[in-house]
C-alpha cells in the first residue's frame, strides 16, 4: 500500500530530544513483575521439591489434617493445612501449602503421606496428585511474570539507546507507521505507534508525546488504524514520529516549507486534524453472526481437544499419574469417569489409584 510522503534534505539531520518517550508504567511495572516472580518461586518451589522427594517413596500414615482449600477466579486453588503425625517414634508438626489450577466443585479429599526415606517430610495426597499441575502452573507464572519483566527491561534500554542516538546528525528515511493509540493528557497528545506498513515491517512499537498544538502527519489508514509519517534516523532501532510542522527535525523554515509542500498540494477532503484528535482510531468489528460462529468454533475445538486428551490419557498414557489427565477424568460425568477409571485400572491395577479414581481411602481403586 502506498501513502503520500515528503522529501527531506539529503544531508544528515538531528532530531530534537524527547521525541521517543518511555511510558511511566515501565518504571513501576518492571520491579513489580520481577518481585512477584521471585516471590512465587521462593514460596512455591520448596513445597514442590519437598513433594517430589516424597513421591519417590511415599508412605501413607495416620495423623491429623487441619486446614482448607480456597478457589479464586474459578480455577486457582490454594490449600493451607497443618499436619500432625508420628513416625519412627517421633512426633512431627508440619505446615503445608500448595497451589494449583483446577476446575472443581465441592470439597477435596486428602490423606497424609510422608517420605519413607525422610520421615520429616510430609504432605497431603492432593499435593502429590497435583504435583505436575503445580510444576506447570509455577513454570507458566514465573515465565510470564519474569519474562515480562525482562522484556520490559530490554524495551526500556532500547528507548534510552535510541534517544541518545537521535542527538547526533544522521540521514533520515521517511516511512509510514500505524498509530495504534492516542490520548490527550495535560494538553499533550500521547501517541503509540508501530512499524507495520513500511518496507521493513519490524513491528516494533514506540511511544511519543507531542507538545501543545503539535499533531502527527496523518496520510491515510491501514484498515483499523490511521497511518502517519515517521523517519528512521540512521541505523537506530525505532522510527521517530514526525509532527505536522516538522519542528522535531533541526532544519531551516524554508526546508520545512519545501518538504511539506507536496502534502499541502495533495490535501484531501479528510480533515487530518480531526483524525489526529480522536482518543483512539476507529475500529471495524466483525458482524454478530461471524463473532458467534467464531465463538462456537473455538468452543468446539476446545471441547474436542479436552475430550481427545482424556481419551489418550485413559487408554494410552504411560502413567496413571498424569496431572491434566487426572483432572479431566475427575470432571467427567459419572458414566465416563467410571469407564475411564476401568481403562486405567486394566493397565495400572497393580499400583495405587490416581486422583479421580480413588476409593474412600484415597489409595485403592473405586
pLDDT in the model for residue 45: 93
pLDDT in the model for residue 279: 41
Q: What is the pLDDT of residues 175-190, one digit of tens each?
A: 999 999 888 887 888 9
Q: How far is CA 159 from CA 37, 101, 156, in A?
A: 24, 37, 5
pLDDT in the model for residue 103: 77
Structural element, H or E, at residue 334:
helix 334-348
pLDDT in the model for residue 302: 82
pLDDT in the model for residue 27: 82
pLDDT in the model for residue 178: 93
Q: What is the pLDDT of residues 300-349, one digit of tens each?
A: 788 888 888 888 888 888 888 887 888 888 888 888 888 989 999 988 88
pLDDT in the model for residue 281: 47
Query: Is a pLDDT exceeding 50 seen at residue 225?
Result: yes
Q: What is the pLDDT of residues 2-46, one digit of tens each?
A: 888 889 998 999 998 889 988 888 888 888 889 988 998 998 999
Q: With bands split at pLDDT 50, 70 and 90, how would you rate the model's confidence at 170? A: very high
Whether the model clears a pTM of 0.75, i.e. scores above it, the answer is: no
pLDDT in the model for residue 267: 64
Averaged pLDDT, 152-179 = 91
pLDDT in the model for residue 275: 45
Q: What is the side-by-side strand order in the sheet with 112-115? A: 58-61, 112-115, 122-124
The three grid cell numbers given for residue 276, joined into one nine-digit string? 489526529
pLDDT in the model for residue 327: 84
Contact 91, 109 (CB under 8 A): no
Which residues neighbour 27 within 8 Å (Cβ) at sequence distance 6 or greater?
none
Q: Alpha-carbon distance 70 to 156, whole Å?
A: 38
Structural element, H or E, at residue 228:
strand 225-233
Greater pLDDT, 223 or 328: 328
Contact 6, 244 (CB under 8 A): no
What is the maximum alpha-carbon separation in the chain? Answer: 95
pLDDT in the model for residue 50: 94
Query: Is a pLDDT exceeding 70 seen at residue 113?
Result: yes
Q: How far is CA 247 from CA 24, 78, 124, 239, 360, in A?
A: 25, 57, 68, 16, 77
Query: Is a pLDDT exceeding 50 seen at residue 209?
Result: yes
Q: What is the pLDDT of residues 243-293, one digit of tens each?
A: 989 999 999 999 999 988 888 777 644 444 444 444 444 444 555 667 777
Q: What is the share, in percent, of the chain residues with pLDDT greater than 70?
A: 92
Query: Is a pLDDT exceeding 70 seen at residue 159?
Result: yes
Q: What is the pLDDT of residues 185-204, one digit of tens each?
A: 878 889 999 999 888 889 99
pLDDT in the model for residue 287: 58
Q: Alpha-carbon distance 239 to 196, whole Å?
A: 11
The strand ranges marked E within 239-280 are 240-241
Query: How high does pLDDT run on average in the chain?
Result: 85
Amino acid at each position: 500500500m502506498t501513502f503520500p510522503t515528503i522529501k527531506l534534505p539529503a544531508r544528515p539531520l538531528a532530531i530534537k530530544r524527547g521525541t521517543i518517550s518511555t511510558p511511566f508504567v515501565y518504571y513501576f511495572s518492571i520491579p513489580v513483575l520481577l518481585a512477584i516472580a521471585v516471590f512465587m518461586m521462593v514460596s512455591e518451589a520448596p513445597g514442590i521439591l519437598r513433594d517430589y522427594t516424597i513421591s519417590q517413596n511415599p508412605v501413607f500414615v495416620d495423623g491429623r489434617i487441619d486446614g482448607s482449600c480456597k478457589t479464586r477466579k474459578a480455577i486457582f486453588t490454594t490449600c493451607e493445612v497443618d499436619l500432625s503425625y508420628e513416625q519412627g517414634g517421633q512426633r512431627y508438626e508440619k505446615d503445608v501449602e500448595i497451589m494449583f489450577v483446577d476446575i472443581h466443585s465441592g470439597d477435596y479429599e486428602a490423606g497424609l503421606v510422608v517420605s519413607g526415606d525422610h520421615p520429616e517430610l510430609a504432605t497431603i495426597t492432593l499435593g502429590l496428585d497435583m504435583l505436575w499441575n503445580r510444576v506447570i502452573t509455577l513454570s507458566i507464572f514465573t515465565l510470564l511474570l519474569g519474562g515480562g519483566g525482562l522484556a520490559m527491561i530490554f524495551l526500556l534500554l532500547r528507548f534510552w539507546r535510541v534517544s541518545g542516538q537521535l542527538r547526533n546528525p544522521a540521514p533520515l528515511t521517511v516511512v509510514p507507521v500505524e498509530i495504534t493509540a492516542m490520548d490527550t493528557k495535560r494538553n499533550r497528545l500521547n501517541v503509540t505507534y508501530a512499524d507495520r506498513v513500511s518496507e521493513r515491517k519490524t513491528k516494533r512499537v514506540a511511544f511519543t508525546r507531542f507538545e501543545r498544538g503539535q499533531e502527527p502527519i496523518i496520510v491515510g489508514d491501514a484498515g483499523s488504524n490511521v497511518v502517519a509519517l515517521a523517519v528512521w534516523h540512521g541505523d537506530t532501532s525505532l522510527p521517530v514520529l514526525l509532527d505536522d510542522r516538522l519542528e522535531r527535525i533541526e532544519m531551516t523554515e524554508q526546508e520545512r516549507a519545501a518538504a511539506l509542500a507536496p502534502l499541502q498540494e495533495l490535501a484531501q477532503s479528510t480533515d487530518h486534524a480531526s483524525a489526529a484528535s480522536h482518543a483512539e482510531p476507529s475500529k471495524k468489528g466483525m458482524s454478530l453472526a461471524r463473532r458467534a460462529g467464531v465463538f462456537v468454533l473455538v468452543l468446539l475445538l476446545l471441547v474436542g481437544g479436552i475430550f481427545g486428551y482424556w481419551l489418550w490419557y485413559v487408554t494410552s498414557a504411560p502413567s496413571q499419574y498424569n496431572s491434566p489427565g487426572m483432572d479431566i477424568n475427575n470432571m467427567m460425568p459419572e458414566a465416563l469417569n467410571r469407564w475411564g477409571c476401568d481403562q486405567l485400572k486394566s493397565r495400572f491395577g497393580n499400583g495405587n489409584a490416581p486422583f479421580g479414581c480413588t476409593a474412600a481411602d484415597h489409595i485403592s481403586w473405586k
